[in-house]
Structure 1
């Protein structure tokens, strides 16, 4: 064996040996991390995909790339087969560098091609905001350990999460990926998530690389717009709360985060230790990545940029410009050099390896700078054990993923995370009426209604109405990915309150709002006997929550503002920043404490 192949040596020793053997092309290939897509039934895709730009063999064999972010997956078994074929392909590279597969979150119900993927064969849990509603670090560790076991069973070895951002701006589209608006709680839950992804101790099995994002805290987006898009490029701190947004990242670094991803946003008017910070995107910002993250916080792990800071993204007839906020006038090569000078190790969403090779050849980037980043990236591969055995057991994948006990644990966590905001009608827990409960429903699967009672077609025929709706947003679809992000004002159309009132004239009404971000509920709360908020919860789990089968006990992890005027007057970086919120953070009724008779008569109206 060559020394880098010897598992008896330390990851650091093996890394140094392999670095001495690699060509410039191999080192450069390590520094790119882009989207990869699967072929049918576990085959390699040898054409460009829906989003991926090149055939699989091109990026692995010709560009020497070995880090890929996988998107849609067919099944556990097909993914395991595809993964093993991908590793076999990587063995044909000069030094057989194994592939590291990464993914955005997959264990919730939110589908967003730019942020998360619904994966039905995994166990499904609340979105992170729902975990924040339960504020239980041990549950978060269990969730992350389950994520680790299911990822590694099919070959995924890097998580592009957890999110350490604070959900302080009520309009921001990515609140559901956050744990809370409270920095202390976020820090505690992110630390628990890192422990679960790492495994070890009572958690057996291989580890998953963590990527904590979005440094130094992506929550305070100006007017709540998202920095994926040019109109949302500015990140602001009118309340001077930068230290609070940074705090969870400090704790994550202390807890051993493997990688950190800076966000797209450019800081406006930010000072750190009396120094004015350049108004350029954090991925280009040397003061933040080198000065703060590397030097002050002492982070020596991998810094991976967020996606597509260098190149425009062309998908079909849509174009999303490179998210080079503050340096839009630079060429692609100049942007790449600026990212390296800032301190990043890896280019997210890019496969333009020749640009970096040309920069090295022309003397614009020193070979030693490439070696420094290659060292960090290889060290993680050795720590994960990928050089010793990168393969998975294809025959076991289906049984290891989505086990009944994991699905049940996820279901119970979803139900428990529901927040009872209002129960003036004293209809919860929903225990039914004498005989069979007649239910008018909207937004609930028929099979769930059948477990609670008898479906009827009109409120006038019902004993109770059960409605589930999404939080309001203003649809946009001019730029690639834009339609996935729920943005804009937080108020419902005025007709909703009228419609709810008409239903409630006929029977008691229980309304649930899926809070993927905050919502203004002022106009609807008075038209409900009971109102709940949920965070990526299935219909079956919500039914268990309101019936008391698995009683709802969540507390709001974010405040729900009283009006859009209050939102507009608030400061984006301040937690609890809206005046006189309708429901403050921490609000919620624990149905475990509600004493009700075994059977209850709900009076019909009308």
Structure 2
């Protein structure tokens, strides 16, 4: 008996010390000197099925804050959270994000400082590591569409405005800063950039895209990924994983409504919709991709083995991990009706190649039982888990899982970051029209300036924003600029929407109950604005959209798409009333989508497009308005005359635009358009060779001269057209561009290289070829035919 008791005690003591024994064991996955592939293999071999499946799941702080925090907003894990994390977790969704302008400043939703954000993520990460058997850290992700979308982070211009800069170096700098701010607060992955083609302006998410053009989106996307991830292949402590979205063909939904089908041919998919994603994967090494909500040819992307397997991984060699869009796997049941229950949805998604379910588990909780029952082979689980673990090793989370809260506080809203936000806003502003040289305004000739409009005294940041520590409206930016030298009058003029009552009528991205403003109130405000305009020498009208009228429509009770592109509400009435005063009028558009501003284009002498310019909106607008910065933004999308022209993207096929009765077939403003306070002349377009073989590159050169009296930037654009081809080709395609700065009288030779890849297309057999024949080579300041210089290049057979 004594011997049996002694053996039992020995067994108990040994069992109690198993974790310590395991910790002392030389485990390969703990050795940073070993190749990541070997570390992944070792760790995977030690994991139970439950621990593996936990790596394919996530938790969302926003929906269960009571499990993460106490009433004072401090980290305090509940018993439920302890159960949820007992096997570890793959990702934590939105650990520090919040609703913009949240009025509640106490309790779990209290707005945390950057330092507090870093402290919280450290506490949560430490808890996760210390409470799973193998000490596997979690990946924390946030949104960063135009800057990290958490409180007190730098808010840059919206994506479509960043693309208006046509400045890839700037875009890389912007997202380098966003990555640094994210990583300093404990964030490891961002759900951006959006590489959808913005070919449908009715779609509320077009503001999130870079352009209608595949080449421009690709260049912006590659720059964004390199900014976020650094040089790679590993991610250092200043960078984060970028997530390409939404794969694929999400940007031109049927009817313009979010998540609607994308019924396009394989040729159009490969040459246009897929092109930016392929560039970001093969050139920039993007480490994560998000599947899109929509379907292609009857197959939802979250269940599309051809899309996620054959194309993404097979043809492009993608080695990273695929995440679901929020609730996207469950929508295989509720939206698409291709799965009967969570188990079937999980099986379809995992088989297709979706590695992790976001933002929290709805279907992947069935995976353990499905493996045990034989419905899913464990190899599928291992494949997905290995991809998640590799990302964690590449992030260095096993060696450095925590961040320095002091660093988060130090870089937040730093002067350097604010200066970059201002530079980006400057470069994004597009001068659409300047009849009679009304702008820039001469401070010596104006005594009174009226600033009028629903977007004049507020700062619209656009979707996927939080609350930056600093932001300045156009009204305040102008007042700061002119001081006492000019009297500045203000009138709201009208509202765009009624907004949220408990927030003083302010519009809010999260608001479900979007209503037009009150007609009687608007009539009164328009009358007041007319009187203000009459008292001024010049009027600046600031109109457009707000975050309720152009946004992601994520459900039937939260819409953001429109069937009209006209100004919302009574803004046109306001514009007409002010124009009829006879005062010189400038219109500045702050908006999320291209707008059919026909009356404004005809009657207003000076028009600016700003989209959403970020936290430095007011300073940038004032600088441009008074000539302290010479605008050089260019349209990344075509602006139509009406919705009847849609689709209106410039690279249409030759048969697409015969015309309409009683109206022009030309757009209101063409792709690539933008004016300057100076003038430029193009000349001496030449090719290094007039005839080349299909495998040869050719150099295209053009001389650009600043013929005006001011220094300024010009965006030089190169287009091509295949004159005769076996498959129909677009009337023109952008193939390169360069933003250059020229002093008055300065001439510069700009050179582009046309590679075989840029001249190629998919032939009848879906093979990429450069066919012999003649190509029109076109260079100029926009896609408008009348402004393009032309040369002819002949490709001859070998």
Question: Which SS does the other structure have where 1:360 is aligned?
Answer: helix
Structure-2 separation of matches of 1:401 and 1:390 = 21
Q: How does 1:77-476 map to 2 (within 5 A)?
A: 77-91=115-129, 92-105=131-144, 107=146, 118-200=149-231, 205-227=237-259, 232=260, 234-237=261-264, 241-242=268-269, 243-255=271-283, 256-268=285-297, 279-311=298-330, 325-352=335-362, 353-434=364-445, 436-442=447-453, 443-445=455-457, 446-451=475-480, 452=482, 453-457=486-490, 458-471=532-545
Q: 1:435 to 1:488 in 2, by over 3 A?
A: closer
Say whether the 8 Å CA contact 2:90–2:356 is kept in structure 1. Answer: no
5+ residue gaps, structure 1, are: 48-53, 109-116, 269-278, 312-320, 597-606
Q: 1:166 to 1:479 in 2, by over 3 A?
A: closer
Deviation at 1:46, TM superposition (A): 4.8
Aligned to 1:581: 667
1:430-462, CA deviations, whole angstroms, 9 ceiling, x for partnerless residues? Answer: 232436443333332342232233222511111
Q: Report the TM-score when normalising by structure 2.
A: 0.65
5+ residue gaps, structure 2, are: 1-25, 99-110, 458-474, 491-531, 658-664, 680-707, 711-798
Say whether the 8 Å CA contact 1:223–1:572 is kept in structure 2. Answer: no
Q: 1:237 to 1:421 in 2, by over 3 A?
A: same
Deviation at 1:327, TM superposition (A): 3.1
Structure-2 separation of matches of 1:571 and 1:513 = 21
Aligned to 2:607: 531
Structure-2 separation of matches of 1:121 and 1:261 = 27
Which deviates more, 234-243 or 368-377? 234-243
Question: Which SS does the other structure have where 1:444 is aligned?
Answer: coil
Question: Which SS does the other structure have where 1:513 is aligned?
Answer: strand
1:259-315, CA deviations, whole angstroms, 9 ceiling, x for partnerless residues? Answer: 1112111123xxxxxxxxxx021111112211222222222221112111344xxxx
1:540-562, CA deviations, whole angstroms, 9 ceiling, x for partnerless residues? Answer: 32222222223321000000001
Aligned-residue RMSD, C-alpha: 3.0
Aligned to 1:275: none
Aligned to 1:564: 643
Which deviates more, 524-533 or 497-506? 497-506
1:309-362, CA deviations, whole angstroms, 9 ceiling, x for partnerless residues? Answer: 344xxxxxxxxx667553355211111101112122111223245311121121
Which deviates more, 426-435 or 240-249? 426-435
Match 1:555 to one of 634, 656, 672:
634
Q: 1:246 to 1:435 in 2, by over 3 A?
A: closer
Structure-2 separation of matches of 1:4 and 1:240 = 44
Structure-2 separation of matches of 1:246 and 1:477 = 22
